[in-house]
Amino acid sequence: LPRAEAWGAHLEQGTLEPWGQEAQWLGNMSRFQASSLQRRLPQSIIIGVRKGGTRALLEMLALHPQVAAARSEVHFFNREENYRRGLGWYRQQMPLSRPGQLTVEKTPGYFSSPRAPNRVRAMAPAMRLLLIVRDPVERLVSDYTQILHNRQARHKPYPPLERLLLRGDRGLDTHHKAIQRSLYALHLAHWLAAFPPAHIHVVDGGSLIREPLAELRHVEQFLGLAPWLGPNNFYFNQTKGFYCLQAGARPRCLDESKGRPHPPIAELLLEQLCTYFSAHNERFFSLVGRTFNWC
């Protein structure tokens, strides 16, 4: 395979004209590689959390030669219209992969879906699950920011976060979706009822931003991947304020929707959110056996 890859690179660059036995060998090798490519059900899923860094994690993993990453969110296990289409349809949403490659998909909507854990387990009891988390208040504000931007891009109004979450003397509207999505302990309990803790790896979203390589080493180990990614795969983009990816000579940053500045939020609301999430965070820390510096 290394020989085929080297010759293939020369052909793509137009620096080599194969002839004779080499041309025949290369043609046979190309046909062999093409015939071994298949769409396979995932062996690992990034299940959440929404606005926690799932796209960054997937893009980083996609640099690994042992990983075949599905580029679009599939929403198979959390949307009835997709789940009814069956596993054959789900498989067709996966990328082509070689034998030995790990197929990974990410849909952050799975984490907060009550039905998703048992559906994933019914398909693959040995599934390796990746859960990336960040400060629940930051996650909530980032979630709101994305919706606000999308509405503004369509010239549609959207109320301030304070109006959405505060109900006068009644305080926080704790049933609001944005708050519910940040109740990590509540949703993780559903996954732990379907999978043993050893099948769920928690990624620190804050650490992934600050020190991506250190966090990815743990992910590689959890997924059974050979250590591959190194310092040369990352560079800090001063304009965006976070690390971007480097694949050979090709730099790649996440799109403009990532790292978008948050609108100003009233300090009173932020304090109320921190207070409300405090007990929920402690339960989450207990479930995963580690703590995070949140709020």
Query: What amino acid positions are annotated as catalytic residues?
Result: 51
Residue 142 among known ligand-binding residues? yes
**243 a known binding residue?**
yes
Could you give the CA distance from residue 149 to residue 108 in angstroms, rounded to a whole number? 19
Cα–Cα distances (Å) from 203 to 22, 56, 71, 144, 240, in that order, read: 46, 12, 20, 22, 22
Alpha-carbon torsion angle 66, 70, 73, 78, nearest 10: -70
Token representation of residue 134: 């960040």
CA angle 62, 284, 189 (to 5 degrees): 80
Using an 8 Å Cβ cutoff, are 185 and 284 in contact? yes
Beta bridge partners of 172: 166
54 is in an annotated binding site: yes
Asked whether residue 261 is marked as a ligand-binding residue, the answer is: yes
- Please list the residues that pair with 127 across neighbouring strands: none
Burial class (CB in 10 A: 0-12, 13-18, 19+), 248: exposed
Residue 147 near residue 216, CB atoms below 8 Å? no
Q: Is residue 18 annotated as involved in ligand binding?
A: no
Residue 93, amino acid: Q
260 assigned binding-site residue: yes
Phi and psi dihedrals of 69, rounded to 5?
Answer: -105, 130
Q: Which residue has the tokens 């959110």?
A: 273
Is 53 one of the annotated binding-site residues?
A: yes
| Ligand-binding site membership of 106 (annotated) | no
Task: Please give the annotated binding residues, written as ranges.
Answer: 51-55, 134, 142, 243, 258-262
**Sequence ranges of the binding site for 3'-phosphoadenylyl sulfate:** 51-55, 134, 142, 243, 258-262
